[in-house]
Amino acid sequence: MSLNIEEIRAMFPVLHQEVNGKPLIYFDNAATTQKPQSVLDSLTGYYEKDNSNIHRGAHTLADRATRYYEETREGVKNFINANESAEVIFTKGTTESINLVASSYGRKFITKGDEIIISTLEHHSNIVPWQMLCEEKEATLKIIPINDRGEILLEEFENLLSDKTKFVSIVHVSNALGTINPVKKIIKKAHQVGAMVLLDGAQSTNHLDIDVQDLDCDFLAFSAHKLYGPTGLGILYGKRSLLEIMPPYQGGGEMIKEVTFAKTTYNEIPFKFEAGTPNIADVIAFQKALDFISFIGKSNIKKHEDELLDHANEAFGQIKGFVPVGTAAEKVSVVSFNINGMHPFDVGVMLDANGIAVRTGHHCTQPLMQRLGLEGTVRASFSVYNTKSEIDQMALSLAKIAKIKNK
Amino acid sequence: MSSIQDIQNEIIEEFEILGEDKESTIYYIMELGGQLPKFPEEERVDENIIKGCQSKVWLATRENGDKIQYLADSNTDITKGLISLLIRVLSGRTPQEILKADLDFIDKIGMGNIIGSQRSNGLSAMIKQMKLYALAYQAKQNV
């Protein structure tokens, strides 16, 4: 099936505007994707018709809101093929999902002398929580190196594994470079030494088919807002056997079974990890984003994005002074680059003057930038509603910008 | 020598000629950055880096009688252009002139829209540092 991109674009109101006198070209999708009208309607519809606090309410509205909220949990379960919806926990984002695991699982099961493995490609949100845990527990953080193309060195990873390895937390797709990591192999190897694995799926869940049972990851963290859904909502998937033995992350309402001043007993999963009134409206609206994805079809989305990536590589590659950063064999639709002699900020500001939204800087991956010997990059990331003609437009602007220093 | 206000008015006029077109304004700012005098290598040290700027900015001073000469550099051309405007307005002035200068040209040329809010914070940090130097010189003169 060939996608009708114009029909898809019509579903996204934000795309139809001018920025600095030029039609908006939105290429900052790895930071956050735009939201279809169905998601926006669901958000306002919830507040107009259903707003009510969920669970325990004895009235119709509370019942309705609860049902919709739990339907999204079921939707997420299907989206990642979890074994059951109780393994799906709503958080406020990928960052909180990772922190939850580091705090709860980490505090209980990581001890002095243990080793935790991450990679050079990690976002700060998959570095700092583990550094904090290691510092507290006197554990050691080990880093999987990469090659110059931005690919993880699997052999080096295997060398790092030992009976001391208790946890591996690895990014599925690099936000800065777009590299797709061979996570199935990594998970298998980690399990062979008895280590648990968390997958940072912030940048993979929107591009790749995710089957947590097939991958056999122990945890998966991702965000709704990179999946055409609302901001402020994240998901943590965890295997039941692990979630059940983990202590609560935060205390409060919703997460308890019974409270007395002497002792509190905790609720079952997933509620044990959802203290307080959750982000009800955004959870409910997220189902519409999942519906959008399944309506278009992930494989169709991937095929279109791959075509855009090929087209961009070819179009940008002809520009004098264009230096691609991250040239892994397996990539999602992200083009990270620099222009010879120019700072990425300057390139970003000049693209913005042409109505083109890209991200510039270190992309919250300072250790990766240090490894690559760069201060930062310009990153263009494509989504299902982007077109080849938008890429051509960016190539024209970029050629003009690059000419300043590359005559 | 023209007053600080005269120079500011000159800049406002120059930017008015550029009009609303953001692209040509940015090209102009970058061009200005290219005209900054070469920054002395011995001053390119961590102590001279202005904190609060997203891009790297080095700022140093020279005493010239009772006046302050500013020298600056940045790793981005747009920031270099911005700081060259500040230098054009403030360099070669007495500490008293610098301290009481109301830099209204920044708002009047719509700098916030051109460079975005994060860079505007950086610009404020540059001005603050320039005024701090002036304050230090003034204190020294009064001793």
Q: Which of A20, A345, A404 faces B55 most closely, judged by CB atoms?
A: A345
Q: How many domains does chain B have?
A: 1
pLDDT tens-digit readout, A33-91: 999 999 999 999 999 999 999 987 789 999 999 999 999 999 999 999 999 999 999 99
Cβ burial A112-136 (10 Å sphere, 16+ → b, else e): eebbbbbbbbbbbbbbbbbeebbee
pLDDT tens-digit readout, A107-117: 999 999 999 99
Residue of A nearest to B74 (CA): A343
The H helix count followed by the E strand count for chain A is 14, 17
Q: Which of A49-58, A148-157, A289-298 is least confident?
A: A49-58
ipTM comes to 0.87
pLDDT tens-digit readout, A201-254: 999 999 999 999 999 999 999 999 999 999 999 999 999 999 999 999 999 888
- Interface check for A354 against chain B (CB to CB < 8 A): the answer is yes
How many angstroms separate the CA atoms of B6 and B15, rounded? 15
- Interface check for A378 against chain B (CB to CB < 8 A): the answer is no
Report the CATH number at residue B111.
3.90.1010.10
* Dihedral sign from CA coordinates of A103, A106, A110, A116: negative
Give the model's pLDDT for residue B109. Answer: 86
Question: For residue A22, with 0-12 CB atoms within 10 Å meaning exposed, 13-18 middle and 19 or more buried, which class applies?
Answer: middle
Catalytic residue ranges of A: 364
Name chain A contacts of B54, Cβ cutoff 8 Å.
345, 361
Token pair listed for A172: 């599925």
Instruction: State yes or no: cis peptide before A270, omega within 30 of 0.
Output: yes
**Mean of the per-residue pLDDT values for chain A?**
96
Give the model's pLDDT for residue B53. Answer: 63
Domains belonging to chain A, first-starting first, are 5-30+297-403 (3.90.1150.10), 40-294 (3.40.640.10)
Which of B28, B30, B32, B76 is most worth mutating to test chain A (most A CB atoms within 10 A of its CB)? B76
Give the model's pLDDT for residue B117. Answer: 72
Where would I find the H helices in B19-110? 22-34, 77-90, 95-100, 105-108
User: Band of the pLDDT at B54, cuts 50, 70, 90?
Assistant: low
**How many Cβ atoms are within 10 Å of B136's Cβ, its own excluded?**
13
Give the model's pLDDT for residue B124. Answer: 85
- Interface check for A404 against chain B (CB to CB < 8 A): the answer is yes
Distance of residue B53 Cα from the nearest chain A Cα, in angstroms: 12
State yes or no: is B53 an active-site residue. yes
Token pair listed for A231: 């901001």
Indicate the residue type of A399: A
Domain containing B46 equals 4-142
